[in-house]
């Protein structure tokens, strides 16, 4: 079968043996797979990613001397089953699934494994128990958004939101846009979206952001003032003493660049909660004494659980057209490398899908 392979630091198109499903596994044909920001980080910072993974108990790092096939945001069609499967979904029907597999060394993440290839290939293996059928009314492109949407479902839940909150989302790439969509789906707001790209700000507005702005400490600070959540500690105390109605400030960092946590903290109201979703691959500096005095909480989130993935699938099924515009392009396996280069340069793309066949 044909695959886009991360080999020796480059992405090359080559042939691999067709995978064979073992017990409890299902063989699928890849229909569409999104390019994740984590894929871009893995291609550019592979050695750094492996070094960090080795320090985390229970994680199995990639062996960069061997082939890796990226791709974990997928919608597939069932080709065949291994032994011991329940066969809940008929052959020829579409599925999505959690990109986790029980391998010989432990649990691995599809797309970052040397044993199981990811979805930038014509075929792949999934754990049958981790698959979900795709309803007929959900287009393949939309179904492939379930995995990144699950990241947003997890991030929003981690923020412990409520009707008394106000939200700022920094970064309107796919994850930030999915966070906005999730907040609106839950009936939460108001929402301010911050991004330097005008097209991405328009996406944010379409998905439910009440206000959008290019990065601007003045604009952000003024918006927080309107929510009764001033930036200064003494101002916040005075507002409380005066009985000013105050919304609980929640901030999502969905960019992942060095220095951003520090700058966001400076733009954050006293007592804000920051949920860090963006994957920064470089060491960063924060100022504990500053965060302490402003009583800012930080929570770093990663991935999701099976229930959150299922919730993302349900959300897509209720209104598939809602998120369909976020698919801004399609490419083939031969174009994976050049598409990575395009996305690394930034710009107005939301989600580009790879169609292997």
Given a cut of 90, whether residue 231 has pLDDT beyond it is no
2-53 pLDDT per residue, tens: 999 999 999 999 999 999 999 999 999 999 999 999 999 889 988 898 888 8
Helix (H) / strand (E) containing 327:
strand 327-331
CA 275, distance to chain mean position in Å, is: 13
DSSP state letters, 329-345: EEE-GGGHHHHHHHHHT
At 44, is the secondary structure helix, strand, or coil? Answer: helix
Show Cβ contacts of residue 60 under 8 Å, excluding neighbours closer than 6 positions. Answer: 53, 103, 105, 106, 107, 108, 113
Q: State how far the alpha carbon of 276 is from the alpha carbons of 114, 125, 151, 163, 260, in Å.
A: 29, 31, 12, 21, 10
- For 125-153, what is each residue's pLDDT tens digit? 999 999 999 999 999 999 999 999 999 99
In the chain, pLDDT over 70 holds for what percent of residues?
96
- The pLDDT score that the predictor gives to residue 246 is 80
What is the tens place of the pLDDT at every residue in 46-93?
889 888 888 888 788 889 999 999 999 999 999 999 999 999 999 999
Mean pLDDT of 280-300: 93
Residue ranges of the alpha helices (H) in 159-197? 174-185
What's the pLDDT score for residue 241? 46
| Mean pLDDT, residues 315-341 | 95
Torsion of the alpha carbons at 130, 136, 142 and 145, rounded to the nearest 10? -10
Decide if pLDDT at 336 tops 70: yes
Express each pLDDT in 193-225 by its tens digit: 999 999 999 999 999 999 999 999 999 999 999
How many C-beta neighbours within 10 Å does residue 199 have?
14
Which candidate, 188, 136, 180, 137, places its Cα nearest to that of 160? 188
The CA distance from 325 to 203, in Å, is 8
Burial class (CB in 10 A: 0-12, 13-18, 19+), 119: buried
User: Would you say the C-alpha torsion 143, 146, 148, 153 has a positive or negative sign?
Assistant: positive
pLDDT at site 357: 83
pLDDT attached to residue 135: 97
Mean pLDDT, rounded, of the chain: 93
- Closest by Cα among 153, 30, 177, 52 to 96: 30
pTM over 0.85, yes/no: yes
The whole-angstrom distance between residue 313's C-alpha and the CA centroid of its chain comes to 14
276: nearest Cα among 294, 258, 296, 301: 301
Distance CA 167, CA 189 (A): 6
Rounded distance, CA 98 to CA 108, Å? 11
pLDDT band at 240 (very low <50, low <70, confident <90, very high): low
């Amino acid at each position: 079968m044909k695959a886009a392979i991360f080999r020796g630091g480059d992405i090359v198109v080559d042939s691999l043996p067709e995978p064979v499903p073992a017990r409890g596994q299902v063989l699928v044909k890849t229909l569409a797979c999104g390019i994740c920001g984590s894929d871009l980080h893995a291609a550019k910072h592979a050695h750094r990613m492996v070094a960090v993974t080795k320090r985390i108990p229970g994680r199995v790092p990639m062996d960069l001397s061997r082939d890796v096939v990226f791709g974990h945001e997928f919608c597939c069609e069932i080709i065949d089953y291994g032994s011991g499967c329940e066969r809940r979904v008929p052959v020829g029907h579409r599925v999505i699934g959690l990109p986790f597999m029980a391998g010989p060394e432990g649990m691995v993440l599809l797309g970052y494994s040397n044993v199981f290839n990811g979805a930038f290939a014509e075929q792949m293996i999934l754990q049958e128990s981790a698959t979900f059928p795709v309803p007929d009314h959900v287009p393949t492109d939309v179904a492939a958004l379930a995995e990144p949407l699950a990241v947003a479902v997890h991030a929003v839940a981690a923020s412990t939101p409520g009707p008394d909150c106000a939200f700022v989302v920094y970064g309107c790439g796919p994850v930030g846009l999915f966070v906005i969509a999730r907040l609106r789906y839950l009936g939460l707001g108001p929402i301010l979206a911050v991004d330097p790209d005008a097209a991405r700000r328009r996406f944010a507005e379409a998905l439910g952001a009440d206000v959008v702005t290019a990065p601007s400490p003045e604009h952000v600070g003024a918006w927080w003032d309107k929510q009764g959540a001033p930036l200064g500690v003494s101002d916040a105390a005075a507002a409380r003493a005066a009985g000013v109605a105050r919304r609980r400030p929640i901030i999502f960092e969905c960019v992942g660049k060095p220095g951003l946590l520090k700058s966001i903290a400076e733009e954050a109201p006293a007592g804000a909660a920051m949920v860090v979703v963006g994957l920064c691959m470089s060491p960063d500096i924060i100022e504990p004494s500053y965060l302490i005095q402003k009583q800012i909480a930080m929570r770093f989130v990663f991935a999701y659980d099976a229930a959150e993935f299922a919730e993302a699938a349900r959300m897509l099924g209720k209104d598939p057209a809602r998120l369909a515009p976020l698919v801004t392009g399609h490419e083939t396996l031969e174009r994976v490398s050049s598409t990575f280069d395009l996305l690394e340069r930034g710009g107005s793309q939301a989600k580009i899908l790879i169609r292997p066949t």
